[in-house]
Structure 1
Amino acid sequence: MDILPARPAPPPVPRLEQARETLHWMLALLPALPFLISALLPPLNHDVAAVLNFSGRWLDGERLYTDLIDVNPPLIFIINLLPAAMGNLLPINPVQALVLCVLGLMAGSFWLCWRLLPLLALPPIMRVGALGVLPITMLGAGYDFGQREHLMAITTLPYLVLAALRAEGRRAPPGLTLGVALLAAAGFALKPHFLAVPGLVELWVFFCLGPRRAFRDPVPWTMGGFFALYLLSLPLVFPLYLNQVVPLVLGNYLSLTGLGWWQVLTTERMMPIGVLLLVLGALASRGGTAPGRPVALAALGCFIAAFVQSRAWSYHIMPSKLLLGWLAALLLTHWAGRLMAPARAERAAAPAAAIAAFAIGLFHLMGSEAPYRQITWSWSRGGLLTEQLRREAYGERLLVLSPDVAPIYPALNYIRAQSTLRTMNLWLLQGVYHQCPTNGARYREPWDMSRTEFFVYRTVAEDFARAPPTAILVSDNAGITWCGNTHFDLITYFSRHPLFAEGFSHYRLAAAFEGYRLYRRED
């Protein structure tokens, strides 16, 4: 019997070349470091902190959508139960637990992309470039770290790689496919606006595969099943959200700060991203590779989601910005690979990833609130408020009468104080006083109030009388339009209720700072 000669072993990689590649990978991770440090330092994003605070109160026994009323659907509060519970059980506070959970989600998303990208027929320079810019892509949210849009963007990344694979008619291992689909579905279910992303991506996959093969694809069915179960849970488990909160949102919340469609598109945040989306989207559709096309469609879906919310806040446009940065890296590495010989392109993969990561890092740094908020936190309004409350009301129950989410949150999170207000702020009161009363009065009498206003007026007074808090924090600015040259005073407004007036007589002014007054109970 002839014995086949042994296959020669591949030549060893020179140590110098290995060291150079390691250095390039470290350089690719370096731009993400300032954003990582910013995520670990205060302040936590105010909206994220407010949601976490509500989940903590829910965990402590208060009833969601009865004692805790907010515009957000329940999924984000359910997710935040994990860091809230970790903060109670482990020697860390809930804010630290939430940051660790989001970083863990990033690590999971990176691992899924690392598993999926080799399944695509990509040249090494593009595969390495896609992986190399993932850390800065996920951490580039800056101050909006942990926002619902940020969580959605993180969970979308492996889904887009899987979509590119599916569009080529190939499949990932079943367990991996199921995990990616469920993770993405959870991210998209955080807000109904986010469904624009899978809508566009799945439509593209459908046209790539054709009807017969597309209907056999398990991903849209898995995601659709998740959405159906979540929708079914609303009337069954959270009926008050549909019966009470949604009417409040339609009647009061949507009118607070909405802009016209042309105003939204021409804001300093939306317009540059819109132009960049047109340019990169056109390049991806004409000369890009398979991964670039679903990323471009997802960025478009995120832009549509930001547009329909009619506010153009930084976190609304943030997912589009993150995805466009990743798309730019995909396109640049694709073109660089085409310009070089295959062997040279493979050697240039790690340096190209480092260069792309630095470029994307600078892109996300422009217009970002991080790390500047972290640098100025100790002497900012929010930092000063936090320190004052730490001295005056650490761990106490507080009635907070204010239109502000920031800087009330994350101040309450950092001082471990519990708000007794049923809403995060007085947005319902702002909604009903969006216009001055028609009779010229500064405050409506109880018999002239709408059901919404009387609900706020009554529940604040009754909750206050039933379980008096240790202190009351009142904003000097109610965030309500002046009427007849008279400002809206929150204490005067609620003191018209006998229960509130009697209870407030036991409180005395303890401090005034940063536009707030703090009253403490005497007995």
Structure 2
Amino acid sequence: MPDTLPKHEPANRQISLLALLPAFLPALLFLALVVSPPLNQDVAAVLSFAERMAAGEPLYARLIDVNPPLIFLLNLPAAWLAQWTPLDAVQSLLLLLLGFCLLVAWLCMRLHPPRGPAERAMMLALLPLVLLVAGYDFGQREQIMAAAALPYLFLAERRIEGQRTGGAMVATVTLIAAIGFALKPHFLAVPALVEAVVLLAAMRRGRLGAAFRDAVPWGLAGLWAAYLALIVFGFPAYFGQVVPLVWDYYVGLGDASFWQVMLTEELFTASLMTFCLCLFTARIGTLTLGWLPRLLAAAMLGGLAAALVQHKGWSYHVVPVWMFGGLLCGVALSRAVDALLPRATALRLAPMLATGAGVALTLLVMRGGEAPWREFNYHNGPVGRLAAWLQKEAPEGRLLVLSPDIYPAYPALNYVENQPVLRFMSTWLLQSVYETCPENGARFREPAQMSEAERYLYESVAQDFAARPPEAVMVARDAHIPWCAGQPFDMITYFTRHPLFAETWRHYRPAGETDGYLLFERKD
């Protein structure tokens, strides 16, 4: 009998893989979605800034944005790849992101080979889906952070269980995790809660001293300190100019109350899911299911905290909750089946469990989400229509965008390879300084009455426009600014008060309107 078992194992594996084909369909669906247009608007805007950095425009001196530099630095390889190869920037970015997801999946499987047939089937089907399930939000910092955290969570389970791990593997996982968590300060809630679980587990086992000597948390802290030093010395304008601007004008912009944010469709669903799964993992034992479910629950809680702190309730803020929660459910279910059922039964159930988990996660994120609907309607939607117009009127030309929103200018201009001339991604600063009407009851403040921030924006837009007159101009009808003096806020009227802007504006004529945006093209 002992000699016959190894002979039948390859056949079992082959049957499992064939039976798993339906379980791969959700991941294949999301793979098709993430490589289809449109690219997420925030991802597209960051990529555009990275292209301009690669072309020589300095960040925080010529390019002004509220985000710390790391996300722009991570986008530079895509910009360079687009310069050196026939690929455009969007294709380059998607290729690198998918390569990153493959690396993450490989690291997870190396760190923890599945314990039984059900877990093996679940990991093969669910792990790719989890990495792609962000859909339209693929490439957002939340998706990158959650993907970067997965090998760290698998390593955390090994650390709790006292398993030895090679130094190169530990260093690689720590570096990837440190980069992911450093993308936003709020993300540090995830490793804080995960390390708390690791310490509590060490206390239960009487290994607290060894836990404090663990290289992983110290490595994370050292890398974050190095990144902070890079910002201070490599990008001094960020703390000197951008952070005060963000603190004074951006943090409170459109700020909703806690309950307004909590009761949005995305955050309420994510909060309910997090509460239920945290309660579930607190009740189950670790002997059967291991520590990974509890670690994933801690990561979910950290991801939810990061979403709540941002006070927006946007769909991509809860992407880590779906990713961590989906994997938690799959891992817990499959490990329970492997532990509690005979191997032959687990082998038969494995494909059905993996398929069911994948379909359930797919339906959860598709309901009320933006994918696949934006992809299905791309050509008839705002981005597709604008991209078609730009391709006709200003292919690969310069473009001025005056809009409080990034969408749909981004990603339309990315697909047409337009070069934005404005140093800002949007006019959010104008929106902030005009949240209330001027004290004298006028529609606009005169230059002498402007704050330093408004005057900077006013002068910068005029200078950028005149220095590199674009082939086309997009202006939003709705500036997202309240009426004052019985008038709406008209951005053309506002900026043409500046002599430099007005002189350049004389060379433009109306060319149409689409989705609330006035389009202008240069006459000569």
Q: Same fold (TM over 0.5)?
A: yes
The alpha carbon displacement at 1:101 in A equals: 0.9
Counterpart in 2 of 1:269?
266
Q: Work out whether residues 113 and 158 of structure 1, in 8 Å CA contact, stay in contact via their aligned partners in 2.
A: yes
Counterpart in 1 of 2:284?
287
The alpha carbon displacement at 1:85 in A equals: 1.0
The one-letter amino acid paired with 1:475 is A
The alpha carbon displacement at 1:56 in A equals: 0.3
The yes-or-no answer on 1:35 pairing with 2:30 is: yes
Equivalent residue for 1:160, pick from 150, 153, 166: 153
Counterpart in 2 of 1:61?
56
Helix, strand or coil for the counterpart of 1:483?
coil
The yes-or-no answer on 1:308 pairing with 2:309 is: yes
Counterpart in 2 of 1:333?
334
Helix, strand or coil for the counterpart of 1:133?
helix
Equivalent residue for 1:82, pick from 77, 90, 97: 77
Distance in 2 separating the partners of 1:263 and 1:94:
37
The one-letter amino acid paired with 2:174 is A
The alpha carbon displacement at 1:251 in A equals: 1.1
Q: Work out whether residues 114 and 131 of structure 1, in 8 Å CA contact, stay in contact via their aligned partners in 2.
A: no
Counterpart in 2 of 1:241?
238
Q: Which stretches in structure 2 are left out of the alignment for 5+ residues?
A: none
The yes-or-no answer on 1:146 pairing with 2:139 is: yes
The one-letter amino acid paired with 1:335 is A
Change in Cα spacing, 1:213 to 1:124, as seen in structure 2 (3 Å) is farther
- Describe the superposition over 1:352-407 as per-residue Cα deviations: whole angstroms up to 9, x where unpaired: 32332222222222222111111111111221111111111111111211112000
Distance in 2 separating the partners of 1:367 and 1:522:
44
Runs of 4+ in 1 over 3 A off after TM superposition: 7-11, 14-19, 346-351
Distance in 2 separating the partners of 1:112 and 1:283:
27
The yes-or-no answer on 1:418 pairing with 2:414 is: no
The one-letter amino acid paired with 1:374 is E
Change in Cα spacing, 1:131 to 1:291, as seen in structure 2 (3 Å) is farther
- Describe the superposition over 1:205-248 as per-residue Cα deviations: whole angstroms up to 9, x where unpaired: 12222431012211111111110100011110001010111111
The one-letter amino acid paired with 2:16 is E
The one-letter amino acid paired with 2:141 is R
The one-letter amino acid paired with 1:92 is L
- Describe the superposition over 1:241-279 as per-residue Cα deviations: whole angstroms up to 9, x where unpaired: 101111111111122221111222222111121111111
- Describe the superposition over 1:7-30 as per-residue Cα deviations: whole angstroms up to 9, x where unpaired: 946452288745431222322211
Helix, strand or coil for the counterpart of 1:12?
helix
After TM superposition, the score normalised by the length of structure 1 is 0.95
Change in Cα spacing, 1:217 to 1:346, as seen in structure 2 (3 Å) is farther
The one-letter amino acid paired with 1:503 is T
> Which region of structure 1 is more displaced relative to structure 2, 425-434 or 129-138?
129-138
Distance in 2 separating the partners of 1:299 and 1:260:
22
Counterpart in 2 of 1:3?
none
Counterpart in 1 of 2:20?
25
Distance in 2 separating the partners of 1:378 and 1:257:
31
* Structural mapping, 1:333-482, within 5 Å: 333-482=334-483
Q: Work out whether residues 378 and 384 of structure 1, in 8 Å CA contact, stay in contact via their aligned partners in 2.
A: yes
Helix, strand or coil for the counterpart of 1:496?
coil
Distance in 2 separating the partners of 1:426 and 1:14:
62
Distance in 2 separating the partners of 1:339 and 1:169:
24
Distance in 2 separating the partners of 1:473 and 1:278:
44
The one-letter amino acid paired with 2:450 is M
The yes-or-no answer on 1:213 pairing with 2:214 is: no
The alpha carbon displacement at 1:86 in A equals: 0.9
Distance in 1 separating the partners of 2:384 and 2:403:
17
Counterpart in 1 of 2:128?
135
The one-letter amino acid paired with 2:313 is A
Identity of aligned residues (%): 46
The alpha carbon displacement at 1:347 in A equals: 4.9
Distance in 2 separating the partners of 1:363 and 1:51:
28
Counterpart in 2 of 1:105?
100
The alpha carbon displacement at 1:506 in A equals: 2.0
Q: Work out whether residues 423 and 464 of structure 2, in 8 Å CA contact, stay in contact via their aligned partners in 1.
A: no
- Describe the superposition over 1:173-197 as per-residue Cα deviations: whole angstroms up to 9, x where unpaired: 1111111111011000000000000
Helix, strand or coil for the counterpart of 1:64?
coil
Q: Work out whether residues 133 and 360 of structure 1, in 8 Å CA contact, stay in contact via their aligned partners in 2.
A: no
Counterpart in 2 of 1:522?
523
Distance in 1 separating the partners of 2:195 and 2:13:
41
Helix, strand or coil for the counterpart of 1:439?
coil
The one-letter amino acid paired with 2:199 is F
Cα RMSD between the aligned structures? 1.8
> Which region of structure 1 is more displaced relative to structure 2, 445-454 or 132-141?
132-141
After TM superposition, the score normalised by the length of structure 2 is 0.95
Counterpart in 2 of 1:4?
none
The alpha carbon displacement at 1:338 in A equals: 4.2
> Which region of structure 1 is more displaced relative to structure 2, 21-30 or 435-444?
21-30
Equivalent residue for 2:112, pick from 104, 110, 117: 117
